[in-house]
Amino acid sequence: MTKQRLVILGGGESGVGTALLGKAKGYDVFVSDKGKIKEKYKQVLIHNEIEWEDETHTEAKILNADIVMKSPGIPDKVPLVKQIREQGILVVSEIEFAAKYTSATVVGITGSNGKTTTATLTHHLLKGELQVGLAGNIGDSFAKQILEKDYPNYVLEISSFQLDDIVDFKPHIAVITNITPDHLDRYDYKLENYIASKFRIAENQTKEDFLIYDADDDILTDWLKKHPVQSTLLPFSLTKTIENGAYLDKQDIIITINNNKIIMPTTSLKLEGNHNVKNAMAASTVAHLLKIRKQTIRESLENFQGVEHRLEQVLKINKVQYINDSKATNVNATYYALESMDAPTVWIVGGVDKGNNYEELYSFVNEKVKAIICLGVDNEKLLKAFEGMVDVIVETQFMSEAVKIAYKLAEAGDNVLLSPACASFDLFENYEDRGRQFKEAVRNL
């Protein structure tokens, strides 16, 4: 019997994890990356005797695949991907491939914003009482964890790109934090294509499964009215009273599942801002579903530190608080950041604009922002949007300079906030690199 051929496009974390699992499950594996494969991943492939190539795609070695696992970063419109599909070869994402090799209970979390915080917080709430892995867009790949540890439970942070290439994958518990226009360049600039992509997280669910979602998000509630799902719905809300799900009653989060009610005081939340109350509602609903004791949930909410690059308090210098929110790669994320500012703010913004509309930030900028520092290769749109609103607006292309300017402009009691509202690829490797450079520059003041 000949082995099935598994071709992997992209030699990053998910690609190499899939290669290892594929080899262990008896596939003939080939990894191909158009860019350069990082040295640490090359060493893993060599050590495991897995065939690979980088800086090229050899079509003859790819188009003979039985199944192709494509990295979420590669768009469908790439000619090679079109060719693969035209030949009728199955294209899947890492989570689709890996999920077949585990019988674990899977919690899948998606959304435009808040998914990293919600996934990390959910994992934090569950790990007190359950053995649970955290994977997807975070940490070690899902495939690699299944191969090495195979936890009985997983929390997966899942992007729309990963959901685009699922076939049978279904999480027992799905969470959609919210949907705002993002990555529309990958969805023919049609919001409904992007929404449909996010809702694929629930498309294979049955009535034994659960969908937790933000009932205050009109995009989500309208979509569900027109496209009902099989799963049991558990909405959460800051404004409505919810019978089955979670809602806010004054200072308390009230979560009810099948008449079983728990109450969590929001005062025990370490994270600030309304959006974090929502993230806590979603995570606590998952924990309640999986029978975590309310004492454990409460203690875990109290000691959760948050996520790096997401409203991360870096240092206080001369009574000025420096805050790293580099993970805010779209306007909606920056909206939450500015909303939670409780002092005059020097705001560092800019990068690669994904068709942003800055109008929704105007009220916060008028109310809270005293100066704007544009940090990008092309800042024209930002300058146009905000020029008349603040006394000081400057531009730079160096993080160290941006931080030095902020230091001069900020007075005791102010905040300096890096919340770019844009992607980072013009000046930085990724948002992590941007956030680390900010922290480094602050420490060097």
Q: Which residues are annotated as a binding site?
A: 111-117
Q: Which of 197, 198, 154, 199 minimizes the C-alpha distance to 172? A: 154
Which ranges in 369-430 belong to alpha helices (H)? 380-386, 399-409
DSSP-derived 3-state class of residue 176:
strand
Q: In angstroms, rounded to a whole number, what is the distance separating the alpha carbons of residues 43 and 354?
A: 35
Using an 8 Å Cβ cutoff, are 431 and 424 in contact? Answer: yes
Count Cβ atoms below 10 Å from residue 168 Cβ, excluding itself: 9
Strand 345-349 relative to strand 369-375, pairing: parallel
Q: Which of 434, 165, 240 minimizes the C-alpha distance to 324? A: 434
Give Cα 109 to chain centroid, integer Å: 9
Task: Give strand pairing partners of 5.
Answer: 28
| R_g over Cα of the chain | 23
Residue 353 structure tokens: 């604009």
Using an 8 Å Cβ cutoff, are 348 and 406 in contact? Answer: yes
DSSP-derived 3-state class of residue 332:
helix
Contacts of 429 (CB under 8 A, 6+ apart): none
Q: How many residues does the chain have?
A: 445
Q: How far apart are the first and last CA of the chain?
A: 65
Q: Which of 60, 37, 331 minimizes the C-alpha distance to 182? A: 331
Count Cβ atoms below 10 Å from residue 79 Cβ, excluding itself: 8
Going by the annotation, the residues of the binding site for ATP are: 111-117
Q: Name the DSSP class of 309.
A: T
Residue 337 structure tokens: 């950041």
